[in-house]
Amino acid sequence: MRAFVLTGHGDFSQLALAEVPAPDIRHPLDVRVRLKAGALNHLDLWTVRGLPGLTLEFPHILGGDGAGIVDAVGPGVTRVRAGDTVLFNPGISCYRCEQCLAGEHSLCVEYRLLGEHLPGTLAEYVVVPEPNVARIPQLPAPHAPLSFAEAAAFSLVALTAWRMLITRARLRPGETVLIWGVGGGVASAALRIAKLAGAFVIVTSSSDVKLARARELGADVTLNHTQVDVAREVRALTGRGGADVVVEHVGEATWDQSLRALGRGGRVVTCGGTTGSALAVDVRRLFWYQWDILGSTMGNAEEYREVVRLLGQGHLRPSIDSVFPLAEARRAFERLASGDHVGKVVVEI
Ligand SMILES: [Zn+2]
């Protein structure tokens, strides 16, 4: 099959279109999907560069998110069959360990991601376990049907943002949320989820174009973080009380401001640190204000079912920035790395 692969860690000169063996059904619960679209996430850029502890066999197929048509299933599969149109949760668990049996699939001791640890979705076929697969929902009128590109762009960011805000930070209606860097996929999914949850949402970006888009998606306040002191603005907007929840994924560049913006009993929840990972906290402020500092990664099967259910009601529909053919997938990586994208970058297969 044709696939877009990484031939070794480094830069985009290591990206190539290649002919590789198609994956086979190996386990009774395997589902093989003929992919129609794959979507990129920031994680794909990290995989190109190489991550500590990540050892890959090359050529390695990139891409975590995807959508397509079921092509073959193992003998134990009952929920989908050949011909079904599907999307899937790209976080693959063992479904056997103590964490998995307790329903905490993203804490699985063997947790792996498509495109990072496992062969990814920028290919004609991918194999995923049945518990990860969901049918692409039919939306009620007057919503237009979901395209494969939209379905492919949905899963990773919606699942991540849902667990961050709803499960980990326990966001409640009427609370104030600060979301950094709203151009990013997780941040933009977090904006939709926070509005759906009835929160007052403040978002930041360095781009006025991205802030205008965030207002269309319901952001209550938009701040250009290159022009204003975000923590001071949040304090002023909340009668000096501060935000109840801060959505972090930036790390060193924003951490201090995130804590200065955080109110009493506030929760800061993070899924990454793209600008650096060494963060400091003043323990006196931590205990006095009774803050929660929360880590979050992907989500479990129940959370995935919930975000797909909401998608089926017409909520959380992803925005697409651009779509590239598989043969030009390198341009998709360049687009993502430029930071100019507004919405998800998709590869059509
Ligand atoms: Zn497990």
Band of the pLDDT at 348, cuts 50, 70, 90?
very high
Band of the pLDDT at 324, cuts 50, 70, 90?
very high
Band of the pLDDT at 291, cuts 50, 70, 90?
very high
Q: Is the pLDDT of residue 290 over 90?
A: yes
Give buried/exposed letters for 112-144 (b at 16+ CB in 10 A, else e).
ebbbbbbbbbbbbbbbbbbbbbbebbebeeeee
pLDDT at 325: 98
Q: 318 C-alpha to center of ligand 1: Å?
A: 29
Tell me if 61 sits within 8 A of 40, measured CB to CB: no
pLDDT at 311: 98
CA distance linking residue 184 with residue 205, whole number of Å: 9
User: Within 13 A of 308's CA, how many CA atoms are on the CB side?
Assistant: 23
CA distance linking residue 195 with residue 218, whole number of Å: 7
pLDDT one-digit tens code per residue, 40-99: 999 999 999 998 888 899 999 999 999 999 999 999 999 999 999 999 999 999 999 999
H/E stretch holding 44 reads helix 42-49
Interhelix angle 301-312/148-162, nearest 10 degrees: 130
pLDDT at 74: 98
Mean pLDDT across the chain: 97
Q: 98 C-alpha to center of ligand 1: Å?
A: 7
Instruction: From residue 275, give the alpha-carbon distance in Å to each of 174, 181, 331.
Output: 31, 12, 24
pLDDT at 54: 84
pLDDT at 213: 96
The average pLDDT across 249-267 equals 97
Sequential DSSP letters for 76-122: T--S--TT-EEEE-SEE--S-SHHHHTT-GGG-TT-EEBTTTB--SS
Helices (H), 251-342: 255-261, 283-288, 301-312, 329-338
Band of the pLDDT at 108, cuts 50, 70, 90?
very high
Q: 148 C-alpha to center of ligand 1: Å?
A: 29
Tell me if 324 sits within 8 A of 12, measured CB to CB: no
Q: 110 C-alpha to center of ligand 1: Å?
A: 6
Q: 100 C-alpha to center of ligand 1: Å?
A: 4
Tell me if 275 sits within 8 A of 253, measured CB to CB: yes
Tell me if 28 sits within 8 A of 337, measured CB to CB: no
Q: Is the pLDDT of residue 145 over 90?
A: yes
Q: 99 C-alpha to center of ligand 1: Å?
A: 6
Q: 128 C-alpha to center of ligand 1: Å?
A: 15
pLDDT at 144: 96
pLDDT at 51: 84
Tell me if 158 sits within 8 A of 307, measured CB to CB: yes
Q: Counting Cβ atoms within 10 Å, is residue 235 exposed (0-12), middle (13-18) or buried (19+)?
A: middle
Q: 109 C-alpha to center of ligand 1: Å?
A: 5
Q: Is the pLDDT of residue 17 over 90?
A: yes
Tell me if 30 sits within 8 A of 151, measured CB to CB: no
pLDDT one-digit tens code per residue, 193-227: 999 999 999 999 999 999 999 999 999 999 999 99
pLDDT at 101: 98
Q: 94 C-alpha to center of ligand 1: Å?
A: 4
Residue 126: closest CA among 100, 153, 154, 88: 88
